[in-house]
Amino acid sequence: MDEVEQRYDAQARERIVPEPPKRVEAPERLAFERDRARVVHAASFRRLAAKTQVVGPQSDDFVRNRLTHSLEVAQIARDLSRALGTHPDITETAALAHDLGHPPFGHNGERALAELAVDCGGFEGNAQTLRLLTRLEAKTADAAGESAGLNLTRATLDACTKYPWGRSEAPASAAGKFGVYDDDRPAFEWARAAAPAGRRCVEAQVMDLADDVAYSVHDVEDGTVAGKLDLTRLDTAAVWPTVRSWYLPDATDDRLDEVLVGLRSVGSWPQASYDGRRGSLAALKNLTSDLIGRFCGAVQQATFAASEGPFVRYAADLVVPEDTWLEISVLKGIAAHYVMQDATRMALQVRQRELLTELVTLLLERDGDDLDESFASDWAVAADDAARTRVVIDQVASLTDASAVAWHHRLVKVVE
């Protein structure tokens, strides 16, 4: 056991299903290293390569998909975790896993499935991630033969819990986000044993910050390369209302102007419009790197100033300075205005939601006949209509963008 892992007690390293050491001719892996390997080898992790991040993964060879985004979040989380003395394997695994529950078409698909799942407990990408890790992603079975998912350690599973509450307990500030469905409560309660109610462990906080940092800089980078925005010609009169609507409702124009001045003070902020040449792309990449370093450095400094640690589980909290959070939010708002609110993209999103609605309806009408074998087995033991709807939601959420379109096309032909 390494020095950092020794900061985590036996309860943190415990698994729902006890696992004896494996007798193999290979170097022994530590508990949290095994967790990371299980996520990397999971089928749901591979599928992220074909799921929408901001724009569809088939639209351009440069833009990020859910897999590349997750890898970038993991790199940021691991570096910050190492600097703080938190276990880097735990935070990296949580970052790799944080989007596993996302359905086809990203957040747009999430909204569609949430409407369809109102009567069976709702749908939320983070709650779906917990469901995958503890049930749907087959790796380990308990004594009764029921799937225990990847059977991750308690510390890692808790670090994956971005919203540690169910739908009915979600605070107003969560904007409808929640982290567990009612029928996954046993695994959730096990992972949260002795955790303060509603509080995230510091490893989950690092993962969440890394996600925000990655979103803020990479969406701007993708939007710039796609020709959707120009950092040298921002129309703040139009952008600031979007920033307020999406992220900072109380921010004044003057305060947002100050934040933008701070961002423009970064030495690599572009002075000329992006032109697609290697030099221009290198300058954009340097800006991305500098902004990530700026944000993580400020958080590390503030966190160390607030506590002596150790930065393990519930012994301390991550501290994000207000100015840093405002800068991250402004960048996210710039991307939201120029990319997410693009008229062509919004029209496509309407059709995507219609497609998922039709697909769920078709699968329900066909009484489970078209489900993959694992989900067909769940359908066979489902106790009522709500449970059967949940099975279909699980199936559709597992699909990639392309396979959702293909399934819809095939089933429409079958019923014609």
pLDDT at 62: 45
296 and 76 Cβ atoms separated by less than 8 Å? yes
| Rounded Cα–Cα distance for residues 83 and 370 (Å) | 49
pLDDT digits (tens, 9 = 90+) for 218-230: 999 989 998 999 9
Binned at pLDDT 50, 70 and 90, residue 415 comes out as confident
User: Which tokens belong to 225?
Assistant: 């390369």
If you average pLDDT over every residue of the chain, what do you get? 92
DSSP 341: T
The DSSP annotation for 237-299 comes to HHHHHHHHHHT-TT--HHHHHHHHHHHHTSTTS-SS---SSHHHHHHHHHHHHHHHHHHHHHH
Phi, psi (degrees; rounded to nearest 5) at 172:
-60, -35
Binned at pLDDT 50, 70 and 90, residue 59 comes out as very low
pLDDT digits (tens, 9 = 90+) for 117-153: 999 999 999 999 999 999 999 999 888 999 999 999 9
Binned at pLDDT 50, 70 and 90, residue 243 comes out as very high
Mean pLDDT of 269-285: 94
pLDDT at 313: 95
141 bridge partner residues: 147
Task: Convert 48-82 into a string of H (helix), E (strand) and C (coil).
Answer: HHHCECCCCCCCCCCCCEHHHHHHHHHHHHHHHHH
Mean pLDDT of 162-188: 93
Lowest mean pLDDT among 98-112, 201-215, 321-335: 98-112
pLDDT digits (tens, 9 = 90+) for 288-319: 999 999 999 999 999 999 999 899 999 999 99
Binned at pLDDT 50, 70 and 90, residue 348 comes out as confident
pLDDT at 352: 92
pLDDT at 181: 97
pLDDT of residue 60 exceeding 70, the answer is no
* Rounded alpha-carbon distances, angstroms, from residue 391 to 31, 122, 202, 384: 32, 12, 33, 11
pLDDT at 342: 74
pLDDT at 106: 85
pLDDT digits (tens, 9 = 90+) for 230-240: 999 999 999 99
204 and 179 Cβ atoms separated by less than 8 Å? no
15 and 153 Cβ atoms separated by less than 8 Å? yes
pLDDT at 23: 60
The separation between CA 323 and the C-alpha centre of its own chain, rounded to angstroms, equals 24
Binned at pLDDT 50, 70 and 90, residue 388 comes out as very high
pLDDT at 53: 55
Percent of the chain with pLDDT over 90: 81
| Rounded Cα–Cα distance for residues 398 and 321 (Å) | 37
Percent of the chain with pLDDT over 70: 94
pLDDT at 256: 98
pLDDT digits (tens, 9 = 90+) for 36-45: 999 999 999 9
pLDDT of residue 61 exceeding 60, the answer is no
More confident residue, 415 or 329: 329
More confident residue, 233 or 3: 233
pLDDT of residue 57 exceeding 70, the answer is no
pLDDT at 309: 86
pLDDT at 28: 65
What is the domain partition of the chain in residue ranges? 202-344
